[in-house]
Chains A and B, each alone.
Chain A
């Protein structure tokens, strides 16, 4: 029978089917951060079950508020840190070595095609870019994952998105995924896996594919997924070379996870990006998307470049190309958060940090920070932020604040203009 990638993973990881339609899967990687894990840890302790199913399969990071901003966040970090130490979890990342979970863990080579991945974080869908089934879960699912290494799911249906055409200047993975969400709506992919196909996806780096998969949840999707190919093998090669010997063998292994010809899709959506404009959100839902030309000139107060959607090195490079030799407009503030220490270091070595600083940006340490309105750039009521993050919900970056989601390119030119601007009208400098 022809199967989708998700169906193959469900088949290979099936532990139990306690009721028809409910599949309990063995989990390959359980990822933890300091916001959703401490309550699970405390509950396990209270139940007298302070154990983990396999310390090697648990990855832990303090990333949302780091360094701690107050006593409460310090306490959350402490609970996680003490637990990781007591459970002998080696892959634990604290200040100085920490970064945003969905950027740091792929960078460390923790994800493989065909894996099952859960985390108490909705953007876990990002890791599907490697051809994994990666799902955000709540604290109780996380707790059971930590204790038993299993998680229950309804078998998801799959939506296939074919992205083809010539990518226009000024259009990036972020613009494409915003377009996809506006077509699917915020609930269009509920209980579904979204597969990204087409020449545009094939031509994308892992970074670009992660940007696509990252926002699958904004259409309600359980996981975003890309078929693992040469690009995937190249990215993972430093971590898998001893296992496979040569890249061809690795590719053949990875290809086994590909959705079969003739597999069943709930829906197929074709997107031609040729002639597409850069995209931006205008409302409080990520499917409220417009062409930039309809929003140009809207005043902003803050620019934020970072997050698990667009805090990767490619994103910083693109923004720096537009910012080189320019200054942020008067009375506008800019914040950039490289998502991991590795990205920070690369950006420094490539002169990107200098470009941001010369333009007047504040460069923060790697953290989620302003993305969820907890620290490092919270908005005041009535303020507007041009942001490369993934959620424009009411109050998301600060009570009474407004968020417009966009690509790093658009955020950079918006910083220079002080108003929403169209990257196609600006010249990119070489770095």
Chain B
């Protein structure tokens, strides 16, 4: 299983699409590693610098609703994966992106808008999140304190993460 948790990158916007996460011009790459420098390159967000240290050190993304909408490109989860970001927490995901994350053995955690709001309250530049995968909970820590939230993912999605992804799961079963 992958490692889940670490420094948080807050993306304070809804409807971030996969073209913003990884622009189409890099889809000619046939290795995941080659995508690495281009993560979130076209993100439209006031003050966001894709080359910043904050982005480089991030291990978890916290964002708003409908994250990952648009193109089906699995290059979006991959560019996170090669940048060691294995968890995205949002109040909602686009279907294909969400499934792509679990299919790669990564976590797309959906929690209510109020809880997302609370998570944003911990953003003082030092926030870290640890995920307790077994117990379906996550804990945020920063200068603003510490709080634990429970979340729910489907039995299937949990099994995919445990199996290491959908190819492994399907190959063993079908």
Contact residues of B between 10 and 63, Cβ < 8 Å to A: 15, 17, 19-20, 23-25, 27-30, 32, 42, 44
Q: Which of B19, B71, B156 contacts A152 (CB 8 A)?
A: B156
In the complex, are the beta carbons of B174 and A122 less than 8 A apart?
A: no
Q: Once the chains are docked, how many angstroms separate the CA of A94 from the CA of B5?
A: 45
Interface flags, B59-97, vs A, CB<8A=1, else 0: 000000110011111100100000000000000111110
In the complex, are the beta carbons of A22 and B96 less than 8 A apart?
A: no
In the complex, are the beta carbons of A374 and B25 less than 8 A apart?
A: yes
Does A362 reach chain B (CB closer than 8 Å)?
no
List of A residues within 8 angstroms of B17 by Cβ: 393
In the complex, are the beta carbons of A190 and B94 less than 8 A apart?
A: yes
Q: Once the chains are docked, how many angstroms separate the CA of A42 from the CA of B32?
A: 12
Does A86 reach chain B (CB closer than 8 Å)?
no
Interface flags, B101-130, vs A, CB<8A=1, else 0: 001100000000000000000000000000
Does B1 reach chain A (CB closer than 8 Å)?
no
In the complex, are the beta carbons of B154 and A186 less than 8 A apart?
A: no
List of B residues within 8 angstroms of A18 by Cβ: 156, 159, 173
Does A281 reach chain B (CB closer than 8 Å)?
no
Number of A-B contacts (CB under 8 A): 144
Does B145 reach chain A (CB closer than 8 Å)?
no
List of B residues within 8 angstroms of A20 by Cβ: 155
Q: Once the chains are docked, how many angstroms separate the CA of A79 from the CA of B30?
A: 10
Contact residues of A between 162 and 202, Cβ < 8 Å to B: 186-187, 190-191
Contact residues of B between 137 and 174, Cβ < 8 Å to A: 154-156, 159, 165-167, 170-171, 173-174
Q: Once the chains are docked, how many angstroms separate the CA of A73 from the CA of B27?
A: 9
Given contacts A24-B174, A42-B30, contact A140 B74 (CB under 8 A): yes
The stretch among A249-257, A336-344, A394-402, A406-414 that forms the contact with chain B is A394-402
List of B residues within 8 angstroms of A19 by Cβ: 154-156, 159
Given contacts A36-B73, A393-B19, contact A190 B95 (CB under 8 A): yes
List of B residues within 8 angstroms of A121 by Cβ: 72
In the complex, are the beta carbons of B92 and A72 less than 8 A apart?
A: no
Given contacts A73-B28, A373-B24, A394-B42, contact A220 B74 (CB under 8 A): no
Does A143 reach chain B (CB closer than 8 Å)?
yes
Closest 4 CB pairs of A and B: A19-B155, A138-B100, A138-B74, A140-B103
25 pairs from A and B in contact (CB 8 Å cutoff) = A24-B174, A35-B73, A38-B30, A47-B167, A72-B29, A138-B73, A138-B74, A138-B77, A138-B100, A140-B104, A140-B166, A143-B167, A150-B170, A152-B99, A152-B166, A154-B154, A186-B15, A190-B94, A220-B94, A373-B24, A374-B28, A394-B19, A394-B20, A395-B19, A396-B19
Residues of A within 8 A of B (CB): 15-16, 18-22, 24, 35-36, 38-39, 42-43, 47, 49, 65, 70, 72-73, 75-76, 79, 120-122, 124, 136-141, 143-144, 147-148, 150, 152, 154, 186-187, 190-191, 217, 220, 222, 284-285, 372-374, 391, 393-396, 399
Q: A16-B174, A191-B95, A396-B24 are in contact. List 20 more A-B contacts (CB 8 A).
A: A19-B155, A42-B30, A65-B28, A136-B96, A137-B72, A137-B99, A138-B99, A138-B100, A139-B74, A140-B165, A152-B166, A154-B154, A187-B15, A190-B92, A220-B69, A284-B44, A373-B23, A391-B71, A394-B20, A395-B23
